[in-house]
């Protein structure tokens, strides 16, 4: 009995600092999972959690029991849709159901703060949709669907609307859809219990040819940081009454004079301590200029600090471990995950020297 107890204590000690992490793949055969040790910075070799067609972007339910993703194929066809899965204790995923709308090419999913409403952005059709979350974690048929209209000034990337992401504000009153094609943030009121969206205005990202892609709210819900894919910059908006946004400033992700040829931005994240913001710069050529840019948001304002080589090719996504001491960076074209140590006092990154292979073009990282 003592031996069994001792072995149990040892096993607990070995996994006490380990956390589950999931990876969506753009060209792979499914969603993968691994364990990450917050003490040592070690990532286990990712394993297949479920076979699913191109499950790019992921979202985890607030109760940690369900995971949702974009997906293609099967009942969704080539247009794509959303998939709901149950998370098993050992990390595997069980498909609950899938739902599609008239939208095409969905690229992002997100949940409201209560886990009752799921939204998705369709890049191909420049539209957004919402679904209700049922008692068993599955998704309802679409409750709302809205197509954006217009165009921007970029000759190749803004000929029409291209919705790229949707996020809810911390107050859980409104949803904000970044549309790369029209340089706008479309605003919707949300009704979580009904699973619906209602148009409530828009905010223009000034400058022309900006290409808003992903967004993050500060924890207070007073500031929205918008990453501009085409302009390689972050636009800062202040929340005002009735869900509206007021533009504050735009700060570039790269230093003045940097060569931006075939460079675009991809992901933006806020450090768990709220003091630092990170954005990924991806090199679509083969020059490997990929980097992660650090910004500070101290009392003296929002400013760029430095850019650190990403150690992967095309960092379409990255994420910070819950402790804020580590960052995982996904290489979409190098098919690997780079591990960085994060200084919580300065926000600066130090490459650990380790990359973990993951075939199938990893494009989303979510910690459980």
For 58-67, what is each residue's pLDDT tens digit? 999 999 999 9
pTM of the model: 0.94
Q: What is the pLDDT of residue 54?
A: 93
> Distance between CA atoms of 363 and 328, rounded to whole angstroms?
12
Joined together, the tokens standing for residue 132 give 């209700």
pLDDT bin (cut points 50, 70, 90) of residue 17 is low
Q: DSSP string of 219-283?
A: TTSSEEEEEETTTTEEEEEEE-GGG-EEEEEEEESS-TT---TTEEEEEEEE-TTSSEEEEEEEE
Q: How many CA atoms lie within 13 A of 317 on its CB side?
A: 21
Q: Where in the chain is the domain with CATH 2.130.10.10?
A: 25-252
Q: What is the pLDDT of residue 140?
A: 98
Residue 43 carries which DSSP code? B
Using DSSP's 3-state secondary structure scheme, residue 313 falls into coil
351-354 long-range CB contacts below 8 Å, 24 or more apart? 351/308, 351/309, 351/311, 352/41, 354/41, 354/42, 354/43
Q: Which residues pair with 150 in a beta bridge?
A: none
Q: What is the pLDDT of residue 297?
A: 81
* CATH architecture for the domain at 25-252: 7 Propeller (2.130)
In the chain, % helix, strand, coil (3-state, to 5) comes to 5, 55, 40
Q: What is the pLDDT of residue 74?
A: 85
Residue 66, H or E segment: strand 66-71
* More confident site: 364 or 73: 364
């Amino acid at each position: 009995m003592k031996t069994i107890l001792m072995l149990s204590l040892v096993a607990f000690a070995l996994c006490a600092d380990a956390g589950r992490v999931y990876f969506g793949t753009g060209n792979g055969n499914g969603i993968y999972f691994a364990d990450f040790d917050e003490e040592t910075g070690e990532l286990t070799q990712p394993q297949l959690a479920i076979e699913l067609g191109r499950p790019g972007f992921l979202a985890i339910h607030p109760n940690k029991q369900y995971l949702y993703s974009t997906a293609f194929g099967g009942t969704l066809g080539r247009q794509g849709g959303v998939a709901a899965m149950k998370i098993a204790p050992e990390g595997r995923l069980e498909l609950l159901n899938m739902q599609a709308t008239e939208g095409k090419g969905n690229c992002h999913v997100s949940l409201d703060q209560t886990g009752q409403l799921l939204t998705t952005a369709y890049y191909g059709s420049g539209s957004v949709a919402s679904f209700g979350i049922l008692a068993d974690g599955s998704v309802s048929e679409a409750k709302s669907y809205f197509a954006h209209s217009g165009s921007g000034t970029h000759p190749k990337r803004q000929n029409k609307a291209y919705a790229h992401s949707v996020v809810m504000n911390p107050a859980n009153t409104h949803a904000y859809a970044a549309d790369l094609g029209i340089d706008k943030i479309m605003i919707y009121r949300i009704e979580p219990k009904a699973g619906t969206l209602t148009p409530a205005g828009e905010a223009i990202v000034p400058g022309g040819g900006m290409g808003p892609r992903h967004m993050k709210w500060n924890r207070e819900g007073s500031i929205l940081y918008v990453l501009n894919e085409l302009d390689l910059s972050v636009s800062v908006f202040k929340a005002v009454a009735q869900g509206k946004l007021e533009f504050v400033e735009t700060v570039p992700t790269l230093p003045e004079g940097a060569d931006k040829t075939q460079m675009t931005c991809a992901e933006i994240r806020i450090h768990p301590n709220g003091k630092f913001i990170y954005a990924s710069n991806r090199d679509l050529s083969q020059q490997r200029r990929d980097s992660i840019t650090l910004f500070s948001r101290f009392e003296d304002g929002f400013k760029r600090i430095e850019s650190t080589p990403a150690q992967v090719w095309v960092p379409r996504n990255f994420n910070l471990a819950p402790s804020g001491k580590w960052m995982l960076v996904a290489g979409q074209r190098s098919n690997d995950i780079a591990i960085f140590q994060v200084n919580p006092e300065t926000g600066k990154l130090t490459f650990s020297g380790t990359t973990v292979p993951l075939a199938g073009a990893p494009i989303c990282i979510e910690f459980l």
